Structure formats: C-alpha cells, structure tokens
Structure 1
Amino acid sequence: MAVPKKRTSKSRKNIRKQCWKNKASIQAKKAISQAKSALKFLTKNKELEN
C-alpha cells in the first residue's frame, strides 16, 4: 500500500532552490566571460588584418 511521504520544509526547499540558482549564476558568468574573450579575440584579429 502506498504511503505518503513527509512534507519537505520551506527552509529545505529554499536551500535547494538557492543552490540551483547559484549554480546557474556561475554558469551564466562563465558563458559571458567566454563570449567577451571571444569578441576581444575577433576584434584584435580584424585590427591586425587592416
């Protein structure tokens, strides 16, 4: 027979949510950093060609 599980507390839920948001934020910062680096590289190469 199926038994309902205990309810997850608000604080536990918020901790998990915050952890997920922090990971996403770190990934976003890395992506932006890489994009900036690539842009710098491309603009430098175009300057050298001219």
Structure 2
Amino acid sequence: MAVPKKRTSASKKRIRKNLWKKKGYQAALKAFSLGKSLSTGNSKSFFVRQTNKLSNKT
C-alpha cells in the first residue's frame, strides 16, 4: 500500500479545502439562480409548461 513520505503542510491542506468549498458554493449559486429564473419566468434555457387553473363557477 502506498504511503506518503512527508506530511502535507497546513497551508497546502487549507488551499485544497478552500477550493473544494468554492466548488460547492458556485454550484449552489448556479442552482439558486436557475431556480429563481424558473420561478419568475425569465428562464431562457428551460421551457416550463404553464397550467391554467380554471375556477369552476356553478
């Protein structure tokens, strides 16, 4: 089994961790933005079927 020869420095570990967190943050921002555009109807990349709810007046 492969074993690292030297210990990874704290700064290198911190940099990698921050890059990993940044990826998640950017994905969340993109998802939120897409959800927001879908809910307001301003989406240009998705087509949402509009349903007309007719009220039954008797």
- Do the structures match in fold with TM over 0.5? yes
- For residues 5-46 of structure 1, the C-alpha deviation after alignment (integer angstroms, 9 at most, x for no partner) is 2110100000000011111111110000000011111xxx57
Higher relative contact order (CA 8 A, sep 6+): 2
Q: How many percent of aligned residue pairs carry the same amino acid?
A: 50
Aligned mates of 1:3, 1:28 — CA distance in 2: 35
Aligned mates of 1:4, 1:29 — CA distance in 2: 36
Gaps of 5+ in 2: 42-49, 54-58
Which structure has the bigger radius of gyration? 2
Letter of the 1:40 partner, please give it: T
How many residues align? The count is 44
Cα pair distance change 1:9/1:40, threshold 3 Å? same
Letter of the 1:25 partner, please give it: Y
Gaps of 5+ in 1: none
**Residue aligning to 1:19:** 19
